[in-house]
Amino acid sequence: MLESKTKKIPGVYLLPNLITTSALFSGFYSIIATINGNYIYAVFAILIAMILDGLDGRIARLTNTQTSFGAYYDSLSDLLCFGVAPAILIYLWSLVNLNIFGWHWSKIAWISCFIYTASVALRLARFNSKLLVMDKKYFTGLASPASAAVIICYVWVVEESNLIVSSFTWVSLSLIIFLSYLMISNVTYYSFKDISIRQKVPHISLFMIVLILSFISFDPALVLLSFFVLYALSGPILLITRIVKKRIIISREKKLH
């Protein structure tokens, strides 16, 4: 007896995965640009990947095309765009200069870049494993796109300022180690995921957006670096603030008793 029903062909939704593929391409192009010494192109490629990474998830939710395949594919794209590409960029742009201090510093340079990439992988694995139980309003640990944003804006500022890159070698090493720690830490960060583009906002909000865009246009590299550095530091600052407040409350309760 012939089957009257045709089997469904397994597939994926095109639009969100096309955006993720575009982000993956941008991350790969960044690596090629870095190898060729085009560091500004590499910065812009990762910046484009960041924008696309923010779009694919939102478009999937808006079009009701969310799938587990898309989530896994997005994480693999993030690992390349915000883990491998920034690590190679900061290594070839700055940390390779540690070679002049000896072979051991040369190893420390590429090992620190590997630690950064591994931290991104661990951060993504932890995020995916707690996706169903975590509070979507907050991230645990610095998000990998934000960490990559600090690196690329830092490279962008130094390149645009025509400064001597070798003078920033130790800053680069300290930065990549610090960012690696923040990503795997338990420090909480505001995720901005509770902001919906379909919700009504006061008219003053649109005016604030215009002011922010105008401010960014004044000096994009420096303004974006300042923003992302402040965001990266916001987690530790809020943690210290909570600890201090808790100790003050405890000390007051002890005095009362």
> Partners of 74 in the beta sheet?
none
**Whether the Cβ atoms of residue 23 and residue 80 lie closer than 8 Å to each other:** no
- Which pLDDT does position 114 carry in this prediction? 97
CA distances from 159 to 2, 8, 130, 163, 220 (A): 68, 53, 38, 7, 13
pLDDT of residue 200: 67
Determine the pLDDT at residue 11.
Answer: 64
Q: List Cβ neighbours of 140 (8 Å cut-off, separation of 6 or more).
A: 126, 127, 130, 134, 186, 187, 188
Query: Given a cut of 60, is residue 3 above it in pLDDT?
Result: no
**Helix (H) or strand (E) segment spanning residue 139:** strand 138-140
Segments in 130-219 forming alpha helices (H):
144-160, 169-184, 203-218
User: Rounded to whole angstroms, how far apart are CA atoms 220 and 213?
Assistant: 9
Q: How many Å apart are CA 113 and CA 61, to the nearest integer?
A: 34
Beta strand pairing status for 138-140 and 188-190? antiparallel
Q: How confident is the model at residue 133 (pLDDT cuts 50, 70, 90)?
A: low
Name the nearest CA neighbour of 222 among 150, 170, 163, 174: 150
Residue 140 DSSP code: E
Residue 217: the pLDDT is 80
Q: Which residues of 208-244 are buried (b: 16+ CB within 10 A; e: fewer)?
A: eeeeeeeeeeeeebebbbebbeebbeebbeeeeeeee
- Do 193 and 131 contact (CB within 8 A), yes or no? no
Q: What is the DSSP letter of 7?
A: P
Q: Which residue has the higher pLDDT, 242 or 81?
A: 81
Residue 251's pLDDT band, with cuts at 50, 70 and 90, is: confident
- Say how far apart CA 56 and CA 74 lie, in whole Å: 8
Q: pLDDT tens digits for 149-171?
A: 999 999 999 999 988 998 999 99
pLDDT at res. 203 = 65
Query: At residue 180, does pLDDT exceed 80?
Result: yes
Q: What one-letter code names the amino acid at 60?
A: A
Mean pLDDT of 93-100: 92
* This prediction's pTM: 0.87
Evaluate whether 145 touches 51 at the Cβ level (below 8 Å): no
CATH superfamily of 14-256: CDP-alcohol phosphotransferase transmembrane (TM) domain (1.20.120.1760)
